[in-house]
A and B are shown apart, each in its own frame.
Chain A
Amino acid sequence: DAKTTQPPSMDCAEGRAANLPCNHSTISGNEYVYWYRQIHSQGPQYIIHGLKNNETNEMASLIITEDRKSSTLILPHATLRDTAVYYCIVRVRGDYKLSFGAGTTVTVRA
């Protein structure tokens, strides 16, 4: 039972912002949105998470709509090393595991 919907793939240009969408229309009030990415032949890497408010860290920004039914991960200046599969995951606060979908394969092109 997928809780999130992401496009299977997207391209973006090196140096430009990459905006990765995620739909989570059935999200409930105690569920957080997490983003991970997986570079080829590596384990998934945590990027950012949020509940209601927009969040920013050194890697990315997370914009969550007011109704919380969708979110966007923004990589402000994409580099070739950002080429990876990006996973948007919804998790109940206090739950210990993550359930991954198929993610979005992001290819950054020079």
Chain B
Amino acid sequence: DTGVSQDPRHKITKRGQNVTFRCDPISEHNRLYWYRQTLGQGPEFLTYFQNEAQLEKSRLLSDRFSAERPKGSFSTLEIQRTEQGDSAMYLCASSLNTGANVLTFGAGSRLTVL
């Protein structure tokens, strides 16, 4: 499988709980991105890694959110003390550091906070 894998695909949690999403990018891709998408809206950029370095974080990424990419391979996005407003699709994408920089997206992890 050469695509971007995300796990879990669906997560239902109660407000105040912590959740973690995992993304496995295409193996040779050194760039990795997290986006969030709410119903009826386009994806919104959250954060970007080049290899293991987190180079940009959006203002949308509050201090309850943390992302890591140890060893420049898979990445995790953790949300602490979830709120109902965190309910969304969390999308991961990866790309090569080339001129075209085409992003390949995973299918997403849908979070529902009750």
Please report A residues at the B interface, Cβ cutoff 8 Å: 41-46, 49, 85, 87, 93-103
Query: Which of B41, B43, B93 lies at the interface centre, i.e. has the most chain A CB atoms within 10 A of its CB?
Result: B43
Contact A43 B45, CB 8 Å, known A49-B100, A93-B99, A96-B31: no
Complex contacts, B55 vs chain A, CB 8 Å? 96
Asked whether, in the complex, the Cβ of A102 is within 8 Å of the Cβ of B33, the reply is no
Name the interface size band of chain B. Answer: 20 to 34
Name 12 interchain pairs, CB-CB below 8 A, sorted by A.
Answer: A43-B108, A44-B43, A44-B91, A44-B103, A45-B105, A46-B104, A87-B42, A96-B31, A96-B33, A96-B55, A96-B95, A100-B35
Q: Chain B residues with Cβ under 8 A from A46's Cβ?
A: 102-104
Query: A85 CA to B105 CA in the complex, in Å?
Result: 15
Which residues does chain B contribute within 8 Å of A94, judged by CB atoms?
A: 99
Check if B48 is an interface residue, CB within 8 A of chain A.
Answer: yes
Q: In the bound complex, do residue A44 and residue B44 qualify as a contact, i.e. CB atoms below 8 Å apart? A: no
Q: With A43-B91, A44-B91 known to touch, is A100 a contact of B44 (CB < 8 Å)?
A: yes
